[in-house]
Amino acid sequence: MDIDLVFRIAAVGIVVAVLNQLLIRSDRPDQAMLVSLAGLVATMMLLVREISSLFDLIRTLFGFS
């Protein structure tokens, strides 16, 4: 795992938090919830890609097909 992944997740979190606060203060809580959900999905996509590469590495290390 590279430190770049941690910075990407932190950047997504900061952007989502700022947009969430802006939308809540402009009286649009539904759109704020959708932005939070989109941030969660984007973060999960990053993590799934890394977990997949981890499983591939484990599979090749232990010689599974």
Question: Mind listing the pLDDT tens digit for each residue in 29-51?
Answer: 999 999 999 999 999 999 999 99
33 or 1, higher pLDDT: 33
Q: Which two tokens stand for residue 12?
A: 């997504």
8 Å CB contact between 19 and 35: yes
Q: Is the pLDDT of residue 2 over 90?
A: no
Given this model, what pLDDT does residue 46 score? 93
Burial class (CB in 10 A: 0-12, 13-18, 19+), 2: exposed
Given this model, what pLDDT does residue 1 score? 61
Question: Mind listing the pLDDT tens digit for each residue in 10-35?
Answer: 999 999 999 999 999 999 999 999 99
Largest CA distance in the chain: 56
